Amino acid sequence: MHPGPGPLALVGSGEYLAVMAGVEGALIEGRPPRYVQIPTAAAPEGAERLQYWLDLGAAQAERLGVEQVPVVIRDRDEAGSADLAALIDGAGLVYLSGGNPQFLARTLRGTRVWAAIEAAWRSGAALAGCSAGAIALTDWVPAVRTPARASEPGLGVLPWLRVLPHFDRMRSWAPDLAARAAAGAPPGTTVIGIDEDTAIVDLSGGGRSWQVHGRQQAWVLTAGQDGTGRDGTGRDGTGRDGTGRDDSTGRDDGTGRQHGTGQPFPAGSNIKFDLYK
């Protein structure tokens, strides 16, 4: 196993599908061929939905030529199981798939299974989350379809990020979620949208230097702005920096900061959050 934390991936949608096989294959490459799949976020939808994810996961594991290791956790009692936690030992990739992000975070947080996942990642296994799984890896987990419900703590791997998956479709089913994410973001927090069939990957495992993969884009929605609409460099969130120069391309200014809101980063782009420590 590789020393230090393994790669991280946040995925907008497409877990276990052929469109994401390249990303998942890169995550597990050079690691033990044990692909741990945790469909907990779908547990409130019932056994049939859990089986749906397991079937997709089995097909992806076959594509990749690795062993599928399903770890089915439906409640906190199961998340405390030593037997289920032991299944995570020796993982090359641990994947939290989609469903209800608050249920996922609430079920795993502070449990034996989560401790095993975190230990595997810190020892070199790759850790990925898609949709609900991506949201839960941060510290801000909203009730996506219930705006009146308060956000809850996440699993805390990436406390400096707020993640909005399915970003290209979000306006139709959660039109105010981006505003909610940005409104209460503490200083040093970046809100990032990830389109469907798209992922951001940090092969270093540090969670601050990402590359965009997939068929669409990632979007940086805020970059440590100070509440005045400016981010400390003179830029005002309009795409201009006070000189009349348009800077809406998503490039940074050499400091690692990204400017404005809603800036797209297509596949192959790098996104760095080195200053947000």
DSSP helix/strand/coil, 266: strand
Q: What is the DSSP letter of 236?
A: -
Q: What is the predicted pLDDT for the residue at 146?
A: 79
pLDDT at position 225: 37
Rounded Cα gap, residues 241 and 98, in angstroms: 39
Q: In this predicted structure, what is the pLDDT of residue 274?
A: 62
Asked if pLDDT for residue 74 goes beyond 70, the answer is yes
pLDDT of residue 222: 58
User: What angle do the packed helices 47-64 and 21-28 form, to 10 degrees?
Assistant: 70
Burial (CB count within 10 angstroms: exposed 0-12, middle 13-18, buried 19+), residue 76 = middle
What is the structure's pLDDT at 1? Answer: 53
pLDDT at residue 273 greater than cutoff 70: yes
Rounded-to-integer distance, Cα 59 and Cα 18, Å: 9
Per-residue pLDDT of 81-100, as tens digits, reads 999 999 999 999 999 999 99
Residue 141 or 147, more confident: 141
Q: What pLDDT was estimated at residue 254?
A: 31
Kindly tell me if the per-residue pLDDT of 68 is higher than 70.
Answer: yes
The pLDDT of residue 232 is 33
pLDDT at 229 > cutoff 90 = no
Please give the pLDDT value at position 247: 36
DSSP one-letter code for 272: E
pLDDT value of position 21: 98
Mean pLDDT of the chain: 85
Give the helix, strand, coil percentages of the chain, each rounded to 5: 30, 25, 50
130 phi, psi to nearest 5 deg: -115, 135
pLDDT of amino acid 175: 79
Mean pLDDT, range 197-213, rounded to an integer: 97
- pLDDT tens string 25-36: 999 999 999 999
pLDDT at residue 265 in the model: 96
pTM of the model: 0.85
Strands 126-130 and 161-164, how do they pair?
A: unpaired
What pLDDT digit, counting tens, does each position of 167-201 carry?
Answer: 999 878 887 888 888 887 888 899 999 999 999 99
